[in-house]
Each structure stands twice: as structure tokens, then as C-alpha cells.
Structure 1
Amino acid sequence: MTLSSASAASLGCSVAYSTQSQWSGGFVANLVISNTGSSAINGWTLTFTFPGDQKVTNAWSATVTQSGENVTAVAASYNADIAAGSSTNFGFQGTWTTSDAIPTGFAVNGVACGASSSGSASASPTATATATASASATATTTSASPTATATGTGTTSSVAPQLHVSGNKLVDASGNTFIPHGVDRSGTEYECVQGYGIFDGPSDQASITAMKSWGPVNAVRVPLNEACWNGESYVNSAYSGATYQQAIVNYVNLLNANGIVAILDLHWTDGTYTGNSSGCSSAEATCQKPMPDAAGAIPFWTSVAQTFKGNDAVIFDLFNEPYASRATGDTTTGWSCWLNGGTCNGIGYQVAGMQSMVNAVRSTGASNVLMLGGEEYSNDLTDWLAYEPTDPDGNLAASWHSYNFNTCSNSSCWTSQVAPVIAKVPVVPGEIGENDCAGSYVDSLTSWLESENTGFLAWTWDDWSGGCSSGPTLITDYTGTPTNYGAAYKAILGALG
């Protein structure tokens, strides 16, 4: 791109490159582009050069392509404009074999930029580099050259494990058993469709650091809204479609960079349902439905799978809490609807069954572990094994939810109904909790789960008005101050070491 002298004179920029996480063979980088010129940048393309053999594997908040050592990052729609004196950022994950040298030659829209770069504490770089060139008044000045390079020192990776199913266990790429312990992060299922935003509360590094301060949190479940991801017309465009998708991608990447597995859950879907236990009469994705709708859920999972395939540190929870049996009127037809979908008694829309959603994910080439919740709001696993879908990758896990107000809420039921499933396939308790602002239920439940070498995630890491009296919420602020219920769960996590 060639700029006129006048355009180049008004464009000034600097780029701050930082290594957020680094290990032998890989890294996560963040780049901050600052507009130091006198006029706004309306649409930016950043170019730079890798001196080493780094390869970009995925990126967020920009479209990043690479040709040899030359890298090009093009702004996303929501961060394309940078006002004078303002900045924006994007990030990426990459690999390297022989050298992780600091990039050089940063330029925005063809104009060379001053740059600085550094490693994070977790990256343990051996040196830092500061570029000495300032932003150029023309598009042809010499690029900045850093005075030193930073290379990884073989520190342990903080990136989340790549998971698959082996027998009745989740295991990482080395075959080590992975037992998930963590929290649910509610908000991304309702904020967008209600017109408030995307996240309910912060989604930054500080908020994740607060979660990790409670103990060995290695999994976070993120509820999603079908209509927001698909960009349906009734959702505010500021919070849907590509913008919503990118926000989820950014959060997943940040979780993964912190060593945390992300569980993406299809929580709310379209479909008119006014039968037994109806949550709302709306056809829109504003409440829990008995099963997902084929018209929206299949495109949803196809898109989500295409977005995250190749990253097995992301688990797909196909549907939050099925209750097809309540809609159809009996257990047999309910479980048949659960598996096969289609036309189901009592449900006025075409249902996406578990098998069709498994097929949709696998059709993209994604091999991610899939979680499938049982009946009765994922609390009933009695027929899960009998109705287990076929999966060519053999990467299915049962999702189980357990609260003090559920039917299966005592050790006798857990032993008779849940333990037989644990013996055959991985069981992930994606939601546990209690609605009494206390901790006796989660204390007994987690003790039982630990005796079965099974993990758990607590609902929910949200600061809701009314605290735990408004539901099983763990915190009173996003620095991690616990409710009474949260204090009990924090102690459980802390005891894990």
C-alpha cells in the first residue's frame, strides 16, 4: 500500500509486543497498536516479520495470515478504527522449533512504527527488546530493529491440555488423566439476547486470576446463546454474529492461555414450547427449552466446531439441560427424542437430537470431546448408556448436573444411577450447587465425586443482585469475595492442593 506524503505525515503509530505465555515450542502474544498521529486510523493492517521460525496457529481480534516469515494482521470490524491518541489490541498463539526471536519491522498501513516488546513473568524470557525507531513521516523509512531477542527457557506451558477420551477417563495428549475442577461463568447466554452486552461482568485476565486464586481451577464452563452466535435478526447486532463469536473466541483463548479448559455449552435456543415445565412462551432464545431446535442448533454447532476444531482444550457441551420426557409425557419417548430428535410429541418445532448434533460437529473434522447431558435437566443418567449416540471419534462424555433440589440428590441415588455411568464413560458434573446459601450439599457431593475420581464445576461465578439468596452464586464481587455458599466451595477447591 502506497501513502501520499500528506497521509503519511498524519499517520503515526507505535506497537507494543508482549509475550503473555511462553514454553518450549509455543507462545501466546499480545500486540497493542497505538495511534500517535494527528488523525484517526480508519481501518488498519499491521505487518511485521518473524526473525525466527515462528508459525501463527490461531488469533483473536484480528485476521492473521502468514507467508514465510512475513505476518499480516487485518483489523476486525469492531476494532478497525483507532482515534488519535487511542489504541487497540489483538493476540495470537504460535509455535516455534529453533528460535522464538522478537518480531521486527512493524508497520501500520505501510508506515513503519516504533515498537517495544517484552515477555511476561510466566514466559521467563532471557532478555527484553526495545525498538529505537519512531513512527515515520513517510512510508519508506527503515523499519525498527530490536536490540536484543527473547527466547523461552523451557518453562512449563500454561496452555490448557489437549483432551480426548480413553475408556472412562479424560486424558491429555500424553495420556495423563485430566479431572476437571472449576466453575461456570454465566452471562453469555442472556446478556446478548436481552440487549445488555455480551458478558455479565468482566472477562479479562484479572477476573480469571481471581478464579484461580480459589484453588486449582482447570476448567470453566461458558453458556452460549444460539441466536446470538448465529446472528439472528431479533438480537441487537452489536452483541451478535461475528462480534459475539469473536468475544467468545477471545475469552476461550484467554482461558486456554491460563491453562484452563473451556467448556462451551449451548444453553438457550429458539423454539416455541408451552408444555410441561415451560420456561417461557417465546419462540426466541430467551429461556431453557426441552430440547434444541434443529433449525438453529445444527448451524450453531457446525459453526462452533469449525471455529474451534484443532483446539482440543475446548469441550463442546451439546445442550444444557434436556427435559424431553416432560414434554413427550413418558421416559421412553423422551429418551428417543433426546437421541433422534425430529418430530417429538409435545414439542412444536423440529428437534435437534444428540445424534444429529454429534454428526454436525464431526462433519467439520472437529474431534473435540463432546458432553451430553441426560434427561430431567441433566440430573437423570439412568438411560444415558442405552441411548448413547454413535461417535466415529469415540470422544463422548456424559454431562451431569446435581443440585440439592434435584431428584437424584443423595448418595444412594448417586451410587445406583451415576456410578454405573462413571464406570463406562467420563462423567463431567458441569453444574453442581445448592440454593440455601450454605455448603453442606456440595461438601457431601464433592466428597462422593472425589471417591469416584470424578471432577466438578460449580454454578456460578457471577455477582448477582441478592447474592446466593437469588440462586447458587459463588461470589459477591469479581475479585472473588465468596458468598457463604462460595466459601464452602472455595474450601473444597483449596483442599485439592
Structure 2
Amino acid sequence: MKRWPISRFIFALALVVGVFSIGLTSQSVHAAPALSTITGLHVSGNQLLNGNGENVRLLGVNRSGTEYKCINNAGIFDGPNDEASVDAMASWHINAVRVPLNEDCWLWINGGQNAYGGDAYVQSIKDYVNLLNSKGLIAILDLHWSAPGTDSSTGQQPMPDADHASDFWWSVASTFKDNSSVIFNLYNEPHADSDGGDCWENGSSAAYTAPCSSVGFAVAGMQTLVGKVRGAGANNVIMLDGWGYANYIGGVLSNLPSDPQNNLMISAHVYDNSGCNTTDCFTQQYAPVAQQVPVVFGEIGESDCQHGFIDSVMNWADQNGVGYLGWAWDTYDCGSFPSLISNYDGTPTQFGQGFKDHLASF
């Protein structure tokens, strides 16, 4: 997320004719988790399917905190990460949680070398993923904060750095390669906008070098990172944010990396102050992509703490088979950070109430 200074579960199970499924069916948070509905995730055409061949539309939240707490030597999670907090998310009838990660904290380098980095950070993320999965929730792991060279990962960069991003994804993929309920979101909000799709796909060998001539460090393109994930032996679904802070996905099909597993999906981020923020734009730019590959709105939100805008976004997504993840399950001032909740027991803000009610209406 690019618009607020601090960067950015949920149990969805449906009992229909005695069979659990993920999607637009009526759901019960009291039913036992049907874990088979989130295992074996894979892409087929423009659909995300589970191991039973059932369509899975990602409907969930972002759980911000793990991208910034560790690098500030202030902990790992922002707020509780225990079973009760996950149950609160699950009560909103969702099936996925996006967990932003910090490159340095995972790799234990450049400022992440504190009590909360390295093994402590990795183990905490593993434990959290296991907890999410145990509640029937898909975990989406996202490289959110990164930095080149010896710089600390204290914010968003325009593109993943060639220095560390490949090592990061090789390590993350190696850690979760046996868990098909985990999706890898390779990079949050690429925004080397003047360089376009060639930079996004292929990266660059040095600072300010074509095709990434606007970026002051060597860039790891999406093709390189896909190769690292597959080289680690991980067949997990890979999610790719478009460029323009993930708001532009109209050109991704022309620059889609090669994947031997054919397990790629696309993510767009949509806010009321985004460039593409109308249903007409969605129909023109997003719908053609969603007809070819699975698409999710990896972040949706609005800056007025209301839900009129996201209502229209979710309605369009419902009609076009697109999933969406609300930003974010955190308790910051809803006027400056689109917080879904005012309390970690699941008490919604006005913004969150609209999101929650929409999911409950299925």
C-alpha cells in the first residue's frame, strides 16, 4: 500500500448439501474446518482450484504488521496473533489472509539482525501460517518491504532488488514448498512506472540500466523470482502484482513470466484514489485479464472510512469471478489508514462493517 505512512482471516466454509466448499455459498463459522478445500491449490485456465477441482475465489483480509515491526526492533506482529485473533477474522466468513513480509527480517540482514529477526521471525511466520491453515484459511505470503545492498528494508521500493529478493524467495519457497495452502505474492506494488512491463518481467543488471532505467539499483524481475521459487522445488501458486502500484494489470499478459507449472495468478490493488477506480475501467482493463488467468484484488480500501466505494468494487468483482482482500485487519485511525477493525476482537469500523456485511450476504 502506498498511500499511508505505515504499510499494511477468517474462516470461510460452506455447508451445502452436506459438502464443504469455498466460494459464494452460505457459510457457518461453527462448522469444523474442511481443510481439503484449501489444499492442492492450483491454476486451471482462469480459475484457482483446490485439490478437489473446486473453484476457490480468494475473499479475505490483509494482516499488516509483519512487514514493519521487526525492522523497527519492536516485535513481529502488530497486535495479537493467537488463536482467538484468528477466530475473530474467521467470523467474517473469509478464506484467505495476506501476510506482508520483510526481506531483511526473514534473511537476518541489514537491520533485521535483532531479537525479532532471523530464526525467530521465520518460526513465527511458520507458526502463524499453520494456525491460519488449521482454521481453513489460505495464507498469502507477500514480499512487502525490501532494500538493495546494505540498506535496511524500512519501506517500499519500486521493484524487488537483485541483491536479496532471489535469496528471500528461495528461502521462503523452500520453507513452504510442501504446503499447497500457501500462495506466494512475489512483490507488493511494483511502481517503476516509466519502465513498464519489460522491467517488471526481466529486471536489470545494474542501477539505472535498461529496461529499468528509472530504478537506482539492479532489479530482480518477475521471471527471475518465478525461477527461484520453482528452483527451490515449490509448485505453489504464485501471485503477481501488476505495476503502477499494482493498479495497472492491463499489460501483464504480454509480459507474463514463463512458469513450468502454469500456476500464476494476477493481483490488482484498488483504492478510491487509484488511477483505475471505476467499474468502467475495471471492465476495460481488468476483465480481459480475468478471462485468461485468475485475478484477485489483493488490496481494496477507501480513505473516508466508509464503504460506498468498496461496495461497488466488490459488486463488480462478484460479477466477474474476481476475489478481493480488504486492507487491513489493523486498528489504526480509519481516516488515515483504511482499517477494517477498531478492536482485534473483530469490532468493525464503518469501512469494515460494509466489507463484513457484504461477505455475510453470500
Q: What's the TM-score, normalizing by structure 2? A: 0.87
Specify the alignment match of 1:341 in structure 2.
Answer: 203
Structure 2 gaps, min length 5: 1-29, 207-211
> Counterpart amino acid of 2:322?
T
Residue correspondence of structure 1 range 121-132 to structure 2 within 5 A: none
Specify the alignment match of 1:206 in structure 2.
Answer: 84
> Counterpart amino acid of 2:115?
A
Specify the alignment match of 2:21 in structure 1.
Answer: none
Q: 2:58 aligned with 1:192, yes or no? A: no
Distance in 1 separating the partners of 2:154 and 2:358: 33
Shift of 1:233: 4.2
* Aligned partner of residue 428 in structure 1, secondary structure: strand
* Root-mean-square deviation over aligned CA pairs: 1.6
Counterpart among 449, 463, 466 of residue 317 in structure 2 = 449
Q: 2:143 aligned with 1:266, yes or no? A: yes
* Aligned partner of residue 244 in structure 2, secondary structure: helix
Distance in 2 separating the partners of 1:241 and 1:390: 31
Distance in 1 separating the partners of 2:136 and 2:37: 4
Specify the alignment match of 2:359 in structure 1.
Answer: 493
Q: Kindly provide the CA deviation profile for residues 398-445 of structure 1, in whole angstroms up to 9, marking residues without a partner as x.
A: 111100000000011000000000000000111011111110011000
> Counterpart amino acid of 2:340?
L
Change (3 A) 1:313 1:441: same
Counterpart among 242, 267, 270 of residue 399 in structure 1 = 267
> Are the counterparts in 2 of residues 271 and 289 from structure 1 also a CA contact under 8 Å?
no
Residue correspondence of structure 1 range 1-400 to structure 2 within 5 A: 156-157=34-35, 160-214=38-92, 216-271=93-148, 283-325=151-193, 330=194, 333-342=195-204, 343=206, 344-400=212-268
Q: Kindly provide the CA deviation profile for residues 246-270 of structure 1, in whole angstroms up to 9, marking residues without a partner as x.
A: 0000000000010000000000101
Shift of 1:236: 4.2
Specify the alignment match of 2:16 in structure 1.
Answer: none
> Are the counterparts in 2 of residues 324 and 335 from structure 1 also a CA contact under 8 Å?
no
* Aligned partner of residue 469 in structure 1, secondary structure: coil
Distance in 2 separating the partners of 1:395 and 1:236: 34
> Counterpart amino acid of 1:337?
C
Specify the alignment match of 2:337 in structure 1.
Answer: 471
Shift of 1:234: 1.9
Q: Kindly provide the CA deviation profile for residues 449-476 of structure 1, in whole angstroms up to 9, marking residues without a partner as x.
A: 0000221110000012xx2112111001
Specify the alignment match of 1:431 in structure 2.
Answer: 299
Change (3 A) 1:391 1:158: closer
> Are the counterparts in 1 of residues 41 and 237 from structure 2 also a CA contact under 8 Å?
yes
Q: What's the TM-score, normalizing by structure 1? A: 0.64
Shift of 1:324: 1.1
Shift of 1:295: 1.0
* Aligned partner of residue 100 in structure 2, secondary structure: strand
Question: Comparing both chains, which one has the higher relative contact order based on Cα–Cα distances under 8 Å and sequence gaps of 6 or more?
Answer: 2
Shift of 1:237: 2.2
* Aligned partner of residue 375 in structure 1, secondary structure: coil
Distance in 1 separating the partners of 2:31 and 2:247: 40
Distance in 2 separating the partners of 1:164 and 1:428: 14
Distance in 1 separating the partners of 2:214 and 2:192: 9
Instruction: State the number of aligned residues.
Output: 327
Distance in 1 separating the partners of 2:336 and 2:343: 15
> Are the counterparts in 1 of residues 99 and 141 from structure 2 also a CA contact under 8 Å?
yes
Q: Percent identity?
A: 49
Distance in 2 separating the partners of 1:258 and 1:316: 19
> Are the counterparts in 1 of residues 79 and 344 from structure 2 also a CA contact under 8 Å?
yes
> Counterpart amino acid of 1:355?
Q
Name which one, 1 or 2, has greater alpha-carbon Rg.
1
Q: 2:339 aligned with 1:462, yes or no? A: no
* Aligned partner of residue 255 in structure 2, secondary structure: coil
Shift of 1:222: 0.2
> Are the counterparts in 1 of residues 148 and 163 from structure 2 also a CA contact under 8 Å?
no
Structure 1 gaps, min length 5: 1-120, 124-154, 273-281
> Are the counterparts in 1 of residues 37 and 52 from structure 2 also a CA contact under 8 Å?
no
